[in-house]
Chains A and B, each alone.
Chain A
């Protein structure tokens, strides 16, 4: 699927660079300022507000999205560096009909309170579970160490991810 939007190049202000990014399976072309960061591009240019910003400094993991399957902090990742890449955000996790197993598990395990950290944890966890190895508890804790949650105390988050990992282990890919 392709969406093309023709935009006149801004006549004033800083120069812009063209980018084409696959966002949750849809190709999007825009002109962005060279210093545009991915989270602003997603939230402001595309209206995808599921990705949140918190520390703005690549410390808390709240803004985590996947770029070609790799987790990045969208608060410091340049939009221009996503040119030609596939970006997955929390909005792209479910197919709109059924929840992704991680989403379901976060709901069932009460792995959120205010929910502000949730998109980042989900994307970070997806990157881990998409890997070749099915992670154990230790690997999950290590992988999620860079994500901050101020509400839950973390325990239910580990349990939620562990639960999905266990299902993977028992499932066809196990």
Chain B
């Protein structure tokens, strides 16, 4: 299969400008600057079907058109490299192995948006990514791909500032990221207005995920039909999926968007670790609810995942085998959201610790069947949360109850943990 966003990963010193140029780098930008108008670019990207790889799958070309249509200036392009969704590490690979591809995509976006300023924001823990991306920005300035009159194009100028986070999952939410860029606490902002009109510093902003922008150069070079045909069924393009958990070979695989979980786990991941039975899998990060093995043939793309009551999310697939207790797994997700809740709104700040406590009760043999209903009610109240974190935080726990109810009931009724993770003493207290 043809690769879009990982095609350069195997090249020696792939992160350097020299290597990137050797692989044909910055030719798409040249084509854009010489042959296309900003309208042409956003139309082409719209037609290609490219949509946001950060997990929301918003049409990318449309976003760029919205930004360009807002009369306020300066306009911004922001790269979201905050990647912190548990089970997800695809952006890390791109940032470490091919930062120029993302920068070229950013410049194409800047041209389409009539934007003149940009930020690259990378989570604080990605030290190697910081080094390589900063080096790539320096190289791009020296070679005239950044700065004034880029590649000799009169009037096309773009300045980029590098920024790093300092440990906070919520900052991946776009409006929280703007606050962080402005040097503030990373609480989200109310939407609308949307970032396309009121983004960083209150100005029109195209914020895109690393992988989304990395796909743009190939679309310019190979056309929309090529890109569309890379996906399975109605899904267009490719996705960087990544595997972790109880899988034989964890790793990143760029595959057609809409690849089945079975193909990903068995053909690319070598199956379940030690050949054990598969208990289930998570399609895309902590925010996604786990599915049982009966759904292995479902396509990992937004629509089919939504039909199963979960989300495609980040494509960070986590594999469960029979050594994993689903109550414990749900508890881990709950703990994550409790820790990462920014505390700004009540449904999430209060709801997330409640999820944790209910899971703990069940794991300690002190849960009741009413607790399972309580989780549903709690989830419904958390839907009133201010941002996506709280709106999704309860989904993995409720999803686990839905798909693995027997296991929850065995903990409650029989104080029995099939996987042997939860140890109950005779009186129901944790041993």
Is the A/B pair a real complex? Answer: no
Question: Which B residues contact A (CB, under 8 angstroms)?
Answer: none
